[in-house]
Protein backbone atom coordinates (compact mmCIF):
# COMPACT_ATOMS: atom_id res chain seq x y z
CA UNK A 1 0.00 0.00 0.00
CA UNK A 2 1.04 3.58 -0.58
CA UNK A 3 0.01 6.14 2.05
CA UNK A 4 0.09 9.86 1.28
CA UNK A 5 0.15 11.89 4.50
CA UNK A 6 -0.86 15.55 4.10
CA UNK A 7 -0.80 18.21 6.79
CA UNK A 8 -3.60 20.76 6.53
CA UNK A 9 -2.87 24.08 4.84
CA UNK A 10 -2.21 27.38 6.65
CA UNK A 11 -5.10 28.23 8.98
CA UNK A 12 -6.04 31.26 11.05
CA UNK A 13 -4.05 31.67 14.25
CA UNK A 14 -5.19 30.04 17.46
CA UNK A 15 -7.45 32.11 19.64
CA UNK A 16 -7.93 31.07 23.27
CA UNK A 17 -11.55 32.24 23.06
CA UNK A 18 -12.37 30.10 20.01
CA UNK A 19 -12.70 26.37 19.49
CA UNK A 20 -9.51 25.01 17.89
CA UNK A 21 -11.42 22.55 15.72
CA UNK A 22 -13.29 25.45 14.08
CA UNK A 23 -10.23 27.27 12.72
CA UNK A 24 -10.51 27.79 8.97
CA UNK A 25 -7.91 28.13 6.26
CA UNK A 26 -6.60 31.57 5.41
CA UNK A 27 -6.83 32.89 1.85
CA UNK A 28 -3.05 32.55 1.66
CA UNK A 29 -3.34 28.96 2.87
CA UNK A 30 -5.96 28.16 0.23
CA UNK A 31 -3.94 29.78 -2.56
CA UNK A 32 -0.72 28.03 -1.56
CA UNK A 33 -2.33 24.63 -1.13
CA UNK A 34 -3.93 24.84 -4.57
CA UNK A 35 -0.35 25.23 -5.87
CA UNK A 36 0.72 22.21 -3.79
CA UNK A 37 -2.04 20.18 -5.46
CA UNK A 38 -0.86 21.34 -8.89
CA UNK A 39 2.68 20.28 -7.93
CA UNK A 40 1.45 16.84 -6.87
CA UNK A 41 -0.45 16.51 -10.13
CA UNK A 42 2.73 17.48 -12.01
CA UNK A 43 4.34 14.50 -10.26
CA UNK A 44 1.36 12.43 -11.46
CA UNK A 45 0.38 11.66 -7.87
CA UNK A 46 -3.24 10.55 -7.79
CA UNK A 47 -5.05 8.87 -4.91
CA UNK A 48 -7.86 6.36 -4.72
CA UNK A 49 -9.38 7.67 -1.49
CA UNK A 50 -8.98 10.59 0.91
CA UNK A 51 -9.60 10.40 4.65
CA UNK A 52 -9.56 13.70 6.52
CA UNK A 53 -9.90 14.89 10.07
CA UNK A 54 -13.32 16.42 10.76
CA UNK A 55 -11.69 19.62 12.01
CA UNK A 56 -12.54 22.51 9.70
CA UNK A 57 -9.04 23.32 8.45
CA UNK A 58 -8.39 19.68 7.49
CA UNK A 59 -11.81 19.30 5.87
CA UNK A 60 -11.19 22.47 3.83
CA UNK A 61 -7.76 21.15 2.82
CA UNK A 62 -9.41 17.87 1.75
CA UNK A 63 -11.82 19.82 -0.45
CA UNK A 64 -8.85 21.51 -2.13
CA UNK A 65 -7.18 18.09 -2.59
CA UNK A 66 -10.13 16.59 -4.50
CA UNK A 67 -8.36 17.07 -7.88
CA UNK A 68 -5.92 14.37 -6.71
CA UNK A 69 -8.68 11.74 -6.65
CA UNK A 70 -8.89 9.26 -9.48
CA UNK A 71 -12.26 9.19 -11.27
CA UNK A 72 -14.96 7.47 -9.26
CA UNK A 73 -13.03 7.65 -5.97
CA UNK A 74 -14.14 9.23 -2.71
CA UNK A 75 -13.23 11.48 0.19
CA UNK A 76 -14.48 10.81 3.71
CA UNK A 77 -14.18 12.16 7.22
CA UNK A 78 -12.19 10.11 9.74
CA UNK A 79 -12.50 11.12 13.41
CA UNK A 80 -9.35 9.14 14.29
CA UNK A 81 -7.21 11.73 12.45
CA UNK A 82 -7.62 14.36 15.18
CA UNK A 83 -5.87 12.39 17.92
CA UNK A 84 -2.74 10.34 18.48
CA UNK A 85 -2.68 7.31 16.17
CA UNK A 86 -4.26 4.19 17.63
CA UNK A 87 -4.97 0.72 16.37
CA UNK A 88 -8.40 1.85 15.07
CA UNK A 89 -6.74 4.31 12.68
CA UNK A 90 -4.25 1.70 11.47
CA UNK A 91 -7.15 -0.72 10.88
CA UNK A 92 -9.05 1.91 8.88
CA UNK A 93 -5.99 2.67 6.75
CA UNK A 94 -5.18 -1.01 6.20
CA UNK A 95 -8.81 -1.80 5.46
CA UNK A 96 -9.16 0.97 2.88
CA UNK A 97 -8.53 -1.64 0.18
CA UNK A 98 -7.07 0.88 -2.27
CA UNK A 99 -3.57 1.05 -3.76
CA UNK A 100 -2.99 4.70 -2.73
CA UNK A 101 -4.72 6.38 0.21
CA UNK A 102 -4.32 9.99 1.36
CA UNK A 103 -4.88 11.08 4.95
CA UNK A 104 -5.19 14.75 5.89
CA UNK A 105 -4.78 15.90 9.46
CA UNK A 106 -2.77 17.75 12.06
CA UNK A 107 0.50 17.83 13.89
CA UNK A 108 1.72 16.37 16.15
CA UNK A 109 -0.48 13.38 15.30
CA UNK A 110 0.59 12.99 11.67
CA UNK A 111 4.24 12.99 12.72
CA UNK A 112 3.38 10.34 15.30
CA UNK A 113 1.59 8.32 12.61
CA UNK A 114 4.58 8.49 10.24
CA UNK A 115 6.97 7.58 13.06
CA UNK A 116 4.77 4.69 14.22
CA UNK A 117 4.48 3.26 10.72
CA UNK A 118 8.18 3.65 9.88
CA UNK A 119 9.91 2.98 13.21
CA UNK A 120 7.27 1.32 15.36
CA UNK A 121 7.49 4.18 17.89
CA UNK A 122 5.13 7.19 17.69
CA UNK A 123 7.25 9.23 20.11
CA UNK A 124 9.72 10.07 17.32
CA UNK A 125 7.11 12.07 15.39
CA UNK A 126 8.59 15.44 16.31
CA UNK A 127 11.68 14.53 14.27
CA UNK A 128 9.64 14.59 11.05
CA UNK A 129 9.35 18.14 9.69
CA UNK A 130 5.88 18.07 8.12
CA UNK A 131 5.06 21.70 7.38
CA UNK A 132 1.54 23.03 6.80
CA UNK A 133 0.60 21.82 3.34
CA UNK A 134 3.52 19.36 3.36
CA UNK A 135 3.29 15.80 2.10
CA UNK A 136 4.93 12.52 3.09
CA UNK A 137 4.67 9.34 1.03
CA UNK A 138 5.05 5.93 2.67
CA UNK A 139 4.90 2.42 1.24
CA UNK A 140 4.59 -1.00 2.79
CA UNK A 141 2.41 -2.82 5.28
CA UNK A 142 0.21 -0.74 7.59
CA UNK A 143 1.71 -2.08 10.80
CA UNK A 144 4.04 -0.45 13.33
CA UNK A 145 7.43 -0.34 11.64
CA UNK A 146 6.02 -1.88 8.45
CA UNK A 147 6.29 1.10 6.12
CA UNK A 148 9.16 3.02 4.51
CA UNK A 149 9.29 6.75 3.97
CA UNK A 150 9.61 7.27 0.21
CA UNK A 151 9.31 11.06 0.08
CA UNK A 152 9.02 14.05 2.39
CA UNK A 153 7.88 16.94 0.22
CA UNK A 154 7.86 20.44 1.69
CA UNK A 155 5.10 22.68 0.34
CA UNK A 156 7.65 25.09 -1.14
CA UNK A 157 9.07 22.34 -3.39
CA UNK A 158 5.59 21.27 -4.51
CA UNK A 159 4.58 24.87 -5.26
CA UNK A 160 7.68 25.24 -7.44
CA UNK A 161 6.69 22.13 -9.39
CA UNK A 162 3.29 23.70 -10.11
pLDDT score, position 23: 96
pLDDT score, position 71: 87
Instruction: Annotate 99-157 with DSSP letters as a single string.
Output: SEEEEEE-TTHHHHHHHHHHHS-GGGGGGS---TT-EEEEEE-SSTT-EEEEEEE-HHH
Give the distance from CA 40 to its chain's centroid.
Answer: 13
pLDDT in tens, 13-55: 999 888 999 999 999 999 999 999 999 999 999 999 999 999 9
pLDDT score, position 60: 98
pLDDT in tens, 114-148: 999 999 999 888 889 899 999 999 999 999 999 99
Which 8-state DSSP code applies to residue 81? Answer: G
Window from 6-10, 83-87, 92-96, 121-125 with minimum mean pLDDT? 121-125
Residue 97 pLDDT > 90: no
The domain in which residue 16 lies consists of 2-161
Residue 90 pLDDT > 90: yes
Report phi then psi at 153, rounded to 5.
Answer: -110, 105
Mean pLDDT calculated for residue range 53-69: 97
pLDDT score, position 73: 87
In three-state secondary structure terms, 98 is: coil
pLDDT score, position 145: 97
Q: Is 77 exposed, middle or buried (0-12, 13-18, 19+ CB in 10 A)?
A: middle
Dihedral sign for Cα atoms in the order 110, 141, 43, 62: negative
Torsion of CA 42, 31, 155, 5, to 10 degrees: -80
pLDDT in tens, 80-89: 999 999 999 9
Number of domains in the chain: 1
In three-state secondary structure terms, 74 is: strand
CA distance 120 to 37: 30
Say if residues 128 and 4 touch (Cβ distance below 8 Å).
Answer: no
Confidence of residue 101 (pLDDT cuts 50, 70, 90): very high
Dihedral sign for Cα atoms in the order 147, 151, 155, 161: negative
- CATH, residue 142: 3.40.50.1240
**Global confidence as pTM:** 0.96
Amino acid sequence: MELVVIRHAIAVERNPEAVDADRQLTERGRRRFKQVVRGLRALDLRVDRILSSPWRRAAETADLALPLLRAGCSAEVCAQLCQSPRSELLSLIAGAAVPRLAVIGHEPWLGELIALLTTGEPRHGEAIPLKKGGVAVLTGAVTPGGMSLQALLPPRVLRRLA
